[in-house]
């Protein structure tokens, strides 16, 4: 990585800011029935658990809805961060296989956790609206874990490049 990438730095700062907002805003959703807050809804494995969470958040349903809406902005920020991080890694490693895999296809992988997250958010909005039968919580449970696994891998690849990028900015000053 020879040059400073402002978009990558901005995407990382936006993702960190949105993560902070989600944690701060989501703290209201941590109750005795939902100690993990919104994660309890994401990881509900049964319709009865979704209904239990809806009952626990009866007075907080508006707040929970807004937490899910904020998550749409968070997923845009972290998807952009992953895109720029994987792009930097791709350039550094110069990965091209003999089968002709190009960066364009690999870029789609950076957005996959965000796409799953958007789908999950739409389902959770239906659930919060009192329709837990719309989609199987058990299937969503495994999609959420797939999203977390992919996001963890992309983070492990992207974060070192983001820190190098930040170091280049600090050196320039």
Break the chain into its structural domains and give their ranges: 6-172
Q: How far apart are CA 41 and CA 13, in angstroms?
A: 27
Q: How many helices (H) and strands (E) in the chain?
A: 6, 0
Q: What value does the mean pLDDT take over residues 127-141?
A: 90
- CB-hemisphere CA count at 13 Å for 1? 22
User: Which pLDDT score is estimated for 99?
Assistant: 44
Tell me the CA end-to-end span of the chain in Å, nearest whole number: 18
Percent of the chain scoring above 90 in pLDDT:
61
Kindly tell me if the per-residue pLDDT of 34 is higher than 90: yes
Confidence label for 100 from pLDDT (cuts 50, 70 and 90) = very low
User: Which pLDDT score is estimated for 55?
Assistant: 93
At 5, give phi and psi (nearest 5°): -120, 105
CB 146 within 8 A of CB 116: yes
pTM of the model: 0.84
User: Which pLDDT score is estimated for 76?
Assistant: 96
Q: What value does the mean pLDDT take over residues 56-74?
A: 94
Joined together, the tokens standing for residue 62 give 């508006």
């Amino acid at each position: 990585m020879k040059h400073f990438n402002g978009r990558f730095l901005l995407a990382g700062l936006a993702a960190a800011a949105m993560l902070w907002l989600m944690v701060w805003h989501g703290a209201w959703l941590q109750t005795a029935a939902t100690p993990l807050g919104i994660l309890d809804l994401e990881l509900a494995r049964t319709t009865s658990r979704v209904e239990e969470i809806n009952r626990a958040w009866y007075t907080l349903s508006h707040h929970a809805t807004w937490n899910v809406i904020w998550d749409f902005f968070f997923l845009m920020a972290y998807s952009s961060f992953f895109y720029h991080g994987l792009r930097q890694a791709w350039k550094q490693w110069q990965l091209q296989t003999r089968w002709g895999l190009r960066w364009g296809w690999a870029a789609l992988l950076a957005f996959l956790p965000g796409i799953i997250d958007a789908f999950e958010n739409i389902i959770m909005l239906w659930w919060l609206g009192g329709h837990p039968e719309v989609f199987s919580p058990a299937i969503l449970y495994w999609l959420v874990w797939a999203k977390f696994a992919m996001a963890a891998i992309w983070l492990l690849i992207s974060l070192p490049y983001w820190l190098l990028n930040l170091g280049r900015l600090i050196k320039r000053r």
